[in-house]
Amino acid sequence: MILSPNRFMIAILILVLMIAQSCSLSPSAADAPSLQKGMAFPTWVPEQYCTPGSDESLQNLAQNTCTEWVQFVPSWYQNDKFATEMFPDYERNTARNECLRQAIQQAHCLGLKVMLKPHVDALNGDWRGTFQPADSKTWFENYQKMITAYAELSQEEGVEIFSIGCEFVELTKPEFTSEWRELIKEVREYYQQPLVYSANWWQEYLQIEFWADLDYIGIDAYFQLTNKTEPTLDDLLTAWIPYLAEIEAFYDTWKIPILFTEIGYRSIEGANMRPWDWETPGVIDLEEQALCYRAVIKTFAGKPWFEGIYWWNWEPDPDLGGPTDKGYTPQGKPAEDILKRWYCEMTEKKKGKRRR
């Protein structure tokens, strides 16, 4: 069949539009995996993100584990839970902005996507979940200044997801919903990508009323599992059953995709009993850490509402971890092999779908 000149030009135009549309899709939109395969990469050393060691560790994370998302965690401070002002500690603990930018750029060069998740801690050791500032209005005004500055940095550096807060249990009760909605509105003026809030597992994620203003529900998922120091995999899987039911019911209410913005286990006996406890001494148990990883994967992999997981944590120092380490990192431990197998299998399945 011979097309008339008009029909020929129309056909060419349609073809051009189809090609333009396909090229306009960003890699994250066209190639997005079904799960954000993430890892937290925190530092409490101001210049650490600027060091060759940090670059090497980030490269190891990307190449050795099939991780595709990395979470950077700069920390600010306030004096105690009653304080109304927060501030950076660039002399001792807070990542300098120039180093944070370098780490984000390095991650992008490695093909990693980025979540920025600023924290606020108390110098006297008060947990942020207990913060009850003497003047909440002043606290929110100061916090908004801090968080919008990081939101602006995130927009400038092409950060893919931004966390607006983390585990402020007392300050996310229903009476503060309007303050958070105003803060979210302000953040969106500076940052045009998806937003998440990182809620504590125990009660906070259930009490929050501003989830509909965000793109993701974030849970820092340190759920207490068994009362056993040497649990089996079946013990751990059984312990997850009621939590899974609770989270699924919660999703049915909100219909917003869920991320585990933090989850992790130390490599010690009984790590599953108090996963959030980073201080208690313990006997090294690499197998329990690996079993906990396996239980999480078996419980949540494939759930349609479960869209991401960020393990706590990978150390910016490439020499840390290993069989004598009692911390959270899976570096050089059996848990790293579990993580690698799961993440890399998903990568291969994704490649297989593309080939078909």
Structure confidence at residue 2 (pLDDT): 39
Structure confidence at residue 287 (pLDDT): 98
Give me the mean pLDDT over the 76-103 stretch: 98
Q: Judge whether 28 lies within some domain.
A: no
> Which residues on neighbouring strands pair with residue 205, listed in sequence order?
none
Q: Judge whether 5 lies within some domain.
A: no
Q: Residue 351: how many CB atoms within 10 A of its CB? A: 10
Q: Judge whether 17 lies within some domain.
A: no
Instruction: Tell whether the model's pLDDT for residue 118 goes beyond 50.
Output: yes
Q: What is the mean pLDDT of the chain?
A: 91
Structure confidence at residue 19 (pLDDT): 28
Q: Judge whether 1 lies within some domain.
A: no
pLDDT grade for 98, boundaries at 50, 70 and 90: very high
pLDDT grade for 351, boundaries at 50, 70 and 90: confident
Domain count within the chain = 1
Q: Judge whether 29 lies within some domain.
A: no
Give me the mean pLDDT over the 39-54 stretch: 98
Instruction: Tell whether the model's pLDDT for residue 214 goes beyond 90.
Output: yes
User: Where are the strands (E) in 242-345, listed by range?
Assistant: 258-263, 306-311
The whole domain housing 265 covers 34-355
Instruction: Tell whether the model's pLDDT for residue 89 goes beyond 60.
Output: yes
Query: Do 262 and 246 form a contact (C-beta atoms < 8 A)?
Result: no
Q: How far apart are CA 121 and CA 282, in angstroms?
A: 25
Type of residue found at 121: D
Contacts of 329 (CB under 8 A, 6+ apart): 313, 314, 315, 320, 321
Give me the mean pLDDT over the 60-86 stretch: 98
Instruction: Tell whether the model's pLDDT for residue 281 goes beyond 70.
Output: yes
Domain CATH for 299: 3.20.20.80
Q: Judge whether 238 lies within some domain.
A: yes
Structure confidence at residue 38 (pLDDT): 98
Structure confidence at residue 347 (pLDDT): 85
Q: Judge whether 63 lies within some domain.
A: yes
**pTM of the full structure:** 0.89
Respond yes or no on whether the N-terminal peptide bond of residue 64 is cis (omega within 30° of 0).
no
pLDDT grade for 188, boundaries at 50, 70 and 90: very high
Q: How far apart are CA 214 and CA 250, in angstroms?
A: 15
Q: Judge whether 327 lies within some domain.
A: yes
Give the helix/strand (H/E) hosting 251. Answer: helix 233-254
Residue pLDDT, tens place only, 222-256? 999 999 999 999 999 999 999 999 999 999 999 99
Residue pLDDT, tens place only, 138-177? 999 999 999 999 999 999 999 999 999 999 999 999 999 9
Q: Please choose, from the candidates 208, 133, 205, 141, the residue with its C-alpha nearest in 3D space to the C-alpha of residue 177.
A: 208
SS3 311: strand
Structure confidence at residue 204 (pLDDT): 98
Structure confidence at residue 355 (pLDDT): 56
Type of residue found at 249: A
Range with the poorest average pLDDT among 82-86, 181-185, 287-291, 348-352? 348-352
Determine what percent of the chain is predicted with pLDDT higher than 90.
Answer: 87
Type of residue found at 8: F
